[in-house]
Structure 1
Amino acid sequence: MASYRPKSALRDVGKALDLDKTTLDVLAKGTSSWELDLTDDLVTEAGLNKDSLLVKQLRTLTEQLLGFPRHLGQHTGGFVLTSGPLSRLVPIENASMPDRTVIQWDKDDLDLMGLLKVDVLALGMLTALRKTLDLIGQRKGHVFEMQDIPSEDPVTYKMICKADTVGTFQVESRAQMSMLPRHRPQRFYDLVVQVAIVRPGPIQGGSVHPYLERRNGTVPVTYPSPEIEKALGRTLGVPLFQEQCMQLAILCAGFTPGEADGLRRAMAAWRRTGSLNKYEPRIIGGMVDRGYTEDFARNVFEQMKGFSSYGFPESHAASFAILVYASCWAKCHYPAEFLCGLLNSQPMGFYSASQLVQDAQRHQVEVRPPDVLSSEWDCTMENIEHQPAVRLGLRMVDGFKKDVADRIVRARDEAYFESAEELARLAELEHQDMRQLAGADALRSLSGHRRQQVWDAAALRRPPMLLRQAPVDEPVLELRAAPEGEEVTWDYRTLGLTLRSHPMKLLRPKLDERRFVTASQLMRRRNGIAASFCGIVTLRQRPETAKGVVFVSLEDETGNVQVIVWPSVRDAQPKELLRSRLLAVHGQWQRAGDACSLIARKLEDLTPMLGDLETASRDFR
């Protein structure tokens, strides 16, 4: 059951109060995804009177709606299996998707009734890996599949330890990337642990730091008893998996396997039902009876409560670790094919297409722009015999349709286009199609620079059937090319990325005047030094386990910087934190080995410097 959060509650209440879309956009963009902060300044900026009855109703009703059910969630791969017709056992209704039905019960209802539910996990990375491996096979000249990936590759693990994992599976998030240089995975089981340890369960259960301290040798590995070692030996005496909690209950508290499974179910449902509390006397009493201290037993139970906040089963973590290793190996050894597979599988993951392309370029991957004479619908590989390059597909053009791209490819196979007019005529393109291609700079090989493309496309209309094959002979009007800043702005508007200069490179002279360092310069700074950095906001995140801390990812022409914003700074400068697209951070550089971050002391909104450039961040809880 999906519940109302600040932005969704604000928009729905605003619609009910008949606020126009422009006003709602200002209000929604000015508030965070994790808490309602409808300030007087924001209300005034939206053109509303902060003391009006309308605003009072908006604030009150939005507050009341938070947490209420908004709509039914649907597991895309959830199946209920029965021996007879399902409709005789549970109520069924039509889903919003055509030819899809859902039952009206949730998983707890099914469990109570003893019905079998199977969840087939849909992962975008499975699609991306399949496409990547197909491309690797084309380059090698034979079929290449998952089982052909070499195991325990040292070069891949070296890349992982550096947190060079943008675009990979699971270990691409900010939290995972900050953990990798400290954990330093060296073998497959380390990846199993890595997947499981950056979860609310181990974090709230207090398992993360003890595990890292034992792994790094700063704290000796000890076990209070042989039973504890049997259950926790593979994770250095620290519980990280649900199965280990069950083992502890059996070996140390006298649970039967059936009772331990009941404990597992209670852990999964504790946040909703509180049923885990009934096991507290049994666990603590059972451990005390077997010679453990009450403090130790109580600590074990608190860790189990922590696991109820989404701890991973070991089997699940191991399955995920297979995809972690496969995606990291592909990124390490075949970065061009990996980028191509990712772009053809969007939307997925933490990163936008722009960030994925920039990361690939920093790994010396050549990326070529979309072009009507070369591009397919999907992104493709070129020059695979020598230095592979990625050709962006027409799917990257904002709003462009696949059937139109297919017509271009078919017409191109039958005849060579010598002009934009021939392309429009032979591929039967509409005026809107040509405008989209010109705006995305995809007619360059036919019309030259973008301004010329837009001019040529503006004059083209689909002729009537009688004149469809008749060429149009008109004198050519030659226009001047646009400056690079205008080209970059259009790239972002039509493709969501640019292969020209990064916007921050164009702003660098002005930023140098204010002594803002680049990401690459910052990475060479020592721990504890004061620093000022400015970058485009690509991600904001406030995890529930972070006690109000907000993490922000900033990007410039040389790389990315992770910023930590403490609650005091967040509360003092909410507008700068939540609404800036170009954010300057003045603070202290923090590094521990390869784990680096900038601790914010003061924030500054420099968004006006971007002009007409359209950028967007991905904000997560």
Structure 2
Amino acid sequence: YGTAHAAMVCIHSTFGFRGALRETARVYGITESEISGVTKKIPYFFGESKNALGIADFLATHPRTRGLHLDPPWPEIIERAQRIVGLPSSIGTHPGGVVITPGRIDEYVPVEISAKGIPIIQWEKDGAEDAGLVKIDLLGNRSLAVIRDTLANLREQGITIDEMRWEPTKDARTIELLARGNTMGVFYVESPAMRLLQRKVGRGDFEHLVIHSSLIRPAANKYAEEYVRRVRGKPYRFEHPLLRKVLAETYGIMVYQEQVSQVAMALAGFNAQEADELRKVMTKKHRRARLRDFREKFFGGAGRNGVPSDVIERIWNMCMSFSGYSFCKPHSASYCQVSFQSAWLKAHYPAAFMAAVIGNYGGFYTTQAYIGEAQRLGIKVYPPDVNKSRRTYVARGGAMRVGLRQIKGLSEGAVTAVVESGLGESPFKDLEDFLERAQLDEADAQRLVLAGACDSLEPSLNRAQLIWKMKCRYRGRADRYDAVPPLKSNSRREMLRAQYRALGFLTEVHPITLVKTTRPRGAVKIGDLREHIGSTVTFLGWGVTSRTVTTRYGEGMQFFTFEDETGLVETVLFPAAYRRYVRCLGWQEAFWITGRVTQTFGAIVVEVREVRPASHAGYAQS
């Protein structure tokens, strides 16, 4: 259609607590490091919706900030920042909304050019739809790139998958992997909540996976637990006989968006247009006023069909669990096709798959978490090497090599120079040959040496000696190039620390194995927790990811994922533990966790009672 007839939809961003504080503090000349020290304690997006608390009240009462002392001018900054909370801050580009028009698009809607040169309309998606514009959602999906790169890597190894005859949904090993919840890296089903649900249900077939991918949504937790019981054999009755046909495939529980419409038609006599309007209103942020009218019509129609008022109330509450966001069945089914392809590749070719996951910048977890998963799968992870690495990760057999792009601070130009200067020629013979052919600036060359990517060029020299030779060359001291002094080699711990600084993870071991700490008597490994169900144990865990939720009583609680070299475990901090320990917990750090090991439908969760930071060797902070 061309840019004259098409543009992306915009999003209007507003100031939350973090953004308001940051912008106001900058006006006062506060340094970025000091600003970040305050704002990092505030959850993302907090304050962007209407909250009862202001910034000052939040800082004074929230468990993460309670007791935080801020010297002047911070009290004044906080007071002024509160005035701009909720005001527009910027215009951005919607991740997938595209508007197409028959005539010039600027004759229908105001258009501007984004910072990246993309034309965007100045209306959000709802305004575009209300104006009658044709809007298409074209979503970018990183996992399609993961599948593409995995298949390309396999072809390089002489393994070709016939995609026309590829049927991962019928593969027993893939179904088993999904049923066990061993899905880190697998598109759409790798979150802690999804992995737990998979383990509880114990089903990895396509039909159940489609249900599960729609069932995991913010307001549906109690229905998810009931669903698990029903799948595992608990007898149940439909809330009303009129719902049997609509909810039979989902065990009597509303899972998909279209089931809201179908229930409204079957139970309350809505016509198709009214039912679809109800479905749309359910998923809108600003829905309260219109929802009152739909509620009245729903209760009235269901009552005329002889449905008891208490049953209507329960069914309406089930409809309310679709607030915020939810999915229709075709959406979930199409996504699960990609999930199955991803899971099949992980089950059969784990090294190539994990290399592609990390090479495409992961998904739900940090690079260290994916490296840890690869190591637990028995995959050998090799560090970057100027003679063997490519731009990104690549696998060979049961091993993978870190890509040059992983090295922190290394310019894209340097990555290109190293890769292209090594193509079509013999490998770099030594450091001098490498520097001559790659023609890097000194800073990039030093980053490569410190990351260990030049170790194989001159194995008889340590990195300090390689740095010495490199600096001689860049300073024009050819007379001293071969007179390498006997510089001291780094210790193993120092080498690992340098690698952590350069890459953000360790290739040989999990960082937790190097933590200097006193091991409590009776401490266990995460992989052995299943042997201690019902007992209170202590283990050393590396923070991977977390999710904070609010209880029905307005209290905060947190789900936290930890790992060690033997496995992953999900933990829960109920409100009392959350208030006490939330300020000391973090990702990419090690903690001694004490808690009770519980098992629900076969899934292990530790209820945290005590958290103690482990003393680090220093690599994570250096």
Q: State TM-score, norm by structure 2.
A: 0.88
- Whole-Å separation in 1 of the counterparts to 2:142 and 2:75: 43
Q: Which residue of 1 aligns with 2:272?
A: 257
Report the Cα offset of residue 167 of structure 1.
1.0
Structure with the bigger percentage of helix = 1
> Runs of 5+ in structure 1 lacking a partner?
616-621
- Whole-Å separation in 2 of the counterparts to 1:253 and 1:147: 45
Report the Cα offset of residue 58 of structure 1.
2.8
Q: Which residue of 2 aligns with 1:163?
A: 181
> Runs of 5+ in structure 2 lacking a partner?
1-11, 47-54
Report the Cα offset of residue 172 of structure 1.
0.8
- Whole-Å separation in 1 of the counterparts to 2:419 and 2:37: 42
1:529 to 532, 535, 551: 535
Q: Is the 8 A contact 2:240 2:311 kept in 1?
A: no
Q: Which residue of 2 aligns with 1:216?
A: 232
- Whole-Å separation in 1 of the counterparts to 2:410 and 2:65: 37
2:372 to 358, 361, 371: 358
Which residues in structure 2 correspond to 1:573-584 (within 5 Å)? 573-577=581-585, 581-584=589-592
Are 2:138 and 1:120 equivalent residues in the alignment?
A: yes
1:138/1:145 Cα in 2 relative to 1: closer, same or farther (>3 Å)? Answer: farther
1:461/1:4 Cα in 2 relative to 1: closer, same or farther (>3 Å)? Answer: same
- Whole-Å separation in 2 of the counterparts to 1:519 and 1:507: 16
Are 2:257 and 1:242 equivalent residues in the alignment?
A: yes
Q: Is the 8 A contact 2:97 2:125 kept in 1?
A: no
Match of 1:533, SS state, is strand
Q: Which residue of 2 aligns with 1:399?
A: 409
1:300 partner letter: I
Are 2:122 and 1:104 equivalent residues in the alignment?
A: yes
Q: Which residue of 2 aligns with 1:136?
A: 154
Q: Is the 8 A contact 1:270 1:276 kept in 2?
A: no
2:378 partner letter: Q
Match of 1:576, SS state, is coil
RMSD of aligned alpha carbons = 2.8
Which residues in structure 2 correspond to 1:518-597 (within 5 Å)? 518-526=525-533, 528-543=534-549, 548-577=556-585, 581-597=589-605
Report the Cα offset of residue 119 of structure 1.
0.7
Any idea what the Cα deviations from partners look like across 1:341-396, whole Å, max 9, x if unmatched? Answer: 112211x41112221122112111122111111112122233xxxx4421211111
Match of 2:95, SS state, is coil
Are 2:383 and 1:369 equivalent residues in the alignment?
A: yes
2:559 partner letter: F
Corresponding pairs, count: 595
- Shifted more, 172-181 versus 66-75: the winner is 66-75
Q: Which residue of 1 aligns with 2:26?
A: 15
1:17 partner letter: Y
Report the Cα offset of residue 549 of structure 1.
1.4
Match of 1:287, SS state, is helix
Q: Is the 8 A contact 2:41 2:65 kept in 1?
A: no
Report the Cα offset of residue 251 of structure 1.
1.8
Any idea what the Cα deviations from partners look like across 1:118-143, whole Å, max 9, x if unmatched? Answer: 01011111111111122233334435
What percentage of residue pairs aligned between the two structures are identical? 26
Match of 1:76, SS state, is strand
Are 2:218 and 1:195 equivalent residues in the alignment?
A: no
1:613 to 604, 614, 620: 620
Any idea what the Cα deviations from partners look like across 1:27-72, whole Å, max 9, x if unmatched? Answer: 23444447665469999999953xx4x1221333344544444333
Are 2:422 and 1:409 equivalent residues in the alignment?
A: no
- Whole-Å separation in 2 of the counterparts to 1:261 and 1:376: 51
Q: Is the 8 A contact 1:231 1:244 kept in 2?
A: yes
1:143/1:516 Cα in 2 relative to 1: closer, same or farther (>3 Å)? Answer: closer
Which residues in structure 2 correspond to 1:279-294 (within 5 Å)? 279-294=294-309
1:177 to 175, 195, 200: 195
- Whole-Å separation in 1 of the counterparts to 2:76 and 2:442: 47
- Whole-Å separation in 1 of the counterparts to 2:287 and 2:500: 44
1:395 partner letter: R
- Whole-Å separation in 2 of the counterparts to 1:339 and 1:95: 34
- Whole-Å separation in 2 of the counterparts to 1:340 and 1:462: 38
1:425 partner letter: E
Q: Which residue of 2 aligns with 1:456?
A: 469
Report the Cα offset of residue 511 of structure 1.
3.6
Q: Is the 8 A contact 1:582 1:610 kept in 2?
A: no
Q: Which residue of 2 aligns with 1:619?
A: none
